[in-house]
Amino acid sequence: MKVLKFKCTLLSDVILNRKSATTGPNETLDFIPGSNFLGIAAGALYSKISAKEALTLFHSGKVRFGDANPSINDFRGLKVPAEMFYPKLSRPDVELYIRYRATDSKIHSKQLKQCRNGFYDFSEEKAKIIWTETDFAVKSAYDRNVRRSKDEQMFGYQSLRKGLVFYFSVEIDDDSFAEKTLVEALVGNKRIGRSRTAQYGLVKIEEAVYGEVGSGRPTGNKVTVYADGRLIFLDKNGMPTFQPTAEQLGLAGGKIIWKDSEIRTFRYAPWNFKRQCADTDRCGIEKGSVFVVKFDKVQESFSSRYIGSYQNEGFGRVIYNPAFLEAYESGEAKYKLDKPEPTPEDKLRTGGVGVEGESSVLVEYLRERKASERDIYKTVNEWAQKWEKEELFKGDSFASQWGKIRSLATSADDYEALKKTLFDPDRGYLTHGVAKEKWADRRRLEEFKEFVDGLEPEFARHSIVNLAAEMAKKCKKN
């Protein structure tokens, strides 16, 4: 068997929708399916070779165009395994477990959370995250007759961002095929994905040498099967199934332990451009899923291979007993997910350093706003607890009046106007009518006015709104 390795660099943004539907929200895939490279090769060679050669090359499964995963440092990245879990409110770079090995009840009491998203470089003991940055653009359909945008035909495109690097391989079973011909068909500037006639889809494919995770020998009588590619299996009636047999996983004689396995599924209908219609729905198991298979005897080492259906399009690649699924007796993973370095967007969100090394004005404003809110909540809570302790509003119906105060504070133009609305000797809400008698009792009016006068004008309305809401709850409780 020959293995041809390639590097795919995005020269422009690329759109690879998860669903073939053209309406509603749609997300882009974070990898490039092997069917794209099969299509490139078929477009270049189909008319130049015989029907028998075309059948063997593109439809028999003897030539398998693998998925291109995002990669860094000349090492092919892999989807984070679904067997990796970390405690809720913690991070996977701090504490990480392989779930089926974590048998201690203390570990499960930590409320483990599954790792689901992201590709990682597992070339070292600490796996590095690979950022698959995306972009979003709003487009409009074009009316060629009137030479302008069509009415009511707006849509959004999410795309993989220009500059990302992907690695993939092509496996050939029959050595008689011309390796040089296939390489010439793939290498060069090509277009993939949607909107290829617009500004999207341009990629550069070249031959490359890169490292990747291989299969290993099991340490006990259990074998882990990691889904490097998406898996599609058919049952004995030819129908898609999410419950393959051990034989279909390439492990005859074993038994799948479903309670230890972690799988995620997908479903989509591929669009056939030649026939201009959708093909049969494909239902399968997502990348990163892990099966645990038990044997009576210890097994020998395995080699990575393709299993299941649609292998020619990159479906079915699995890795047996990868090193990153090894764990200590406690269930703690031997591999760790390295703490990701913050992106420029993360720095802006968390108040860090901006893209050009200077603090963002917006971040500084939000930070001051958050600090001010903390001060407001602290002041409000102190006053509310004081009045509750002194039973200043106990025994009378005040919930509706606090609701009115909150409404007045929300609609007031400024601090001075609000004070006049509440405390004006002739027309103030608290100084005449039914409210006057209640607020005059037990120095309630004086206490509340003292609170309002002590507020900073900039945050007065916000403070009174919060106090009124809190006091309304306490008055209803009492």
pLDDT one-digit tens code per residue, 170-197: 999 876 567 788 889 999 999 998 888 7
In 10 A of CB 243, how many CB atoms? 11
Q: Per the structure block, which two tokens stand in for 380?
A: 């409000």
pLDDT at 478: 62
- The pLDDT assigned to 360 comes to 61
Residue 380 and residue 448: Cα distance in Å, rounded?
12
Please tell me the least confidently modeled range out of 81-85, 112-116, 186-190.
Answer: 112-116
Two tokens, residue 243: 């419950």
Residues 6+ apart with CB under 8 A from 184: 44
Write down the mean pLDDT value for the chain.
84
Structure tokens of 115? 């790792």
Contact 91, 339 (CB under 8 A): yes
The answer to whether 135 and 164 have CB atoms below 8 angstroms apart is no
Instruction: Say if CB 173 and CB 63 are below 8 A apart.
Output: yes
Identify which of 471, 392, 387, 402 has the alpha carbon closest to the alpha carbon of residue 435.
402
Compute how many other C-beta atoms are within 10 angstroms of the C-beta atom of residue 268.
16
Asked if the model's pLDDT at residue 348 lies above 60, the reply is no
5 or 56, which is more confident = 5
Gyration radius of the chain's alpha carbons = 32
- Give CA–CA dist 268/163, Å, rounded: 28
Distance of CA 335 to the CA centre of its chain: 21
pLDDT at 181: 84
**Kind and range of the H or E element at 437?**
helix 434-440
pLDDT in the model for residue 350: 45
**Residue 472 vs residue 356, higher pLDDT:** 472
pLDDT reading at 470 higher than 80: yes
Lowest mean pLDDT among 120-124, 402-406, 408-412, 471-475: 471-475
Q: What is the reported pLDDT for 447? A: 86
Our CA dihedral for 402, 406, 408, 412, rounded to 10 degrees, sits at 150
Lowest mean pLDDT among 30-39, 173-182, 353-362: 353-362
Please determine, for residue 202, whether its predicted confidence score (pLDDT) is greater than 90.
Answer: yes
**Using CA atoms, how far apart are residues 165 and 204, in angstroms rounded to an integer?**
10
Q: Is the pLDDT of residue 381 over 90?
A: no
Q: From CA 15, how far away is CA 203, in angstroms rounded?
A: 12
Give dist(CA 280, CA 278) in Å, integer.
7
Sequence-distant (6+) residues with CB within 8 A of 248 are 233, 307, 308
Starting from the edge strand earliest in sequence, which strands make up the sheet with 255-256, in order? 255-256, 290-294, 222-227, 317-320, 305-306
Dist. CA 103–CA 101, nearest whole Å: 6
Can you tell me the distance from the alpha carbon of 404 to that of 468, in angstroms, rounded to the nearest whole number?
9
The pLDDT value given to residue 23: 60
Lowest mean pLDDT among 48-62, 152-166, 240-254, 357-371: 357-371
Residue 126, judged by CB atoms within 10 A of its CB (0-12, 13-18, 19+), counts as middle
Going by their DSSP bridges, the two strands 75-76 and 188-191 should be labelled as unpaired
Strands (E), 124-264: 126-130, 134-143, 148-160, 165-172, 188-191, 202-207, 222-227, 233-234, 240-241, 255-256
**By three-state DSSP, how is residue 38 classified?**
helix
pLDDT given at position 18: 80
Confidence of residue 354 (pLDDT cuts 50, 70, 90): very low
Q: pLDDT value at position 196?
A: 81
- Dig out the tokens for 247 from the structure: 């034989």
The model's pTM: 0.70
DSSP strands (E only) in 265-374? 265-268, 271-272, 277-278, 282-285, 290-294, 305-306, 317-320, 336-337
Give the pLDDT of residue 92.
86
| Cα-based torsion angle of the residue sequence 181, 186, 188, 189 in order, rounded to the nearest 10 degrees | 150
Contacting residues for 374 by C-beta, under 8 A, at least 6 apart: none
CB atoms within 10 A of CB 153: 11
Higher pLDDT: 63 or 439? It is 63
Give the pLDDT score at 252.
87
**Tell me, what's the pLDDT at 356?**
41
pLDDT computed for residue 395 by the predictor: 65
| Residue 349: pLDDT over 60 | no
pLDDT at 41: 92
What phi and psi values does residue 285 have, to the nearest 5 degrees? -110, 135
pLDDT top residue among 71 and 370? 71
C-alpha closest to that of 262 among 405, 388, 413, 99: 99
Q: Kindly state the tokens that stand for 409.
A: 């504070």
Q: Is residue 107 within 8 Å of residue 132, measured between CB atoms?
A: no
- Among 151, 154, 7, smallest CA distance to 75 is for 7
Q: Rounded mean pLDDT of 357-373? A: 69
pLDDT per residue as tens digits for the range 286-333: 999 999 999 887 667 778 999 999 999 999 999 999 999 998 888 889
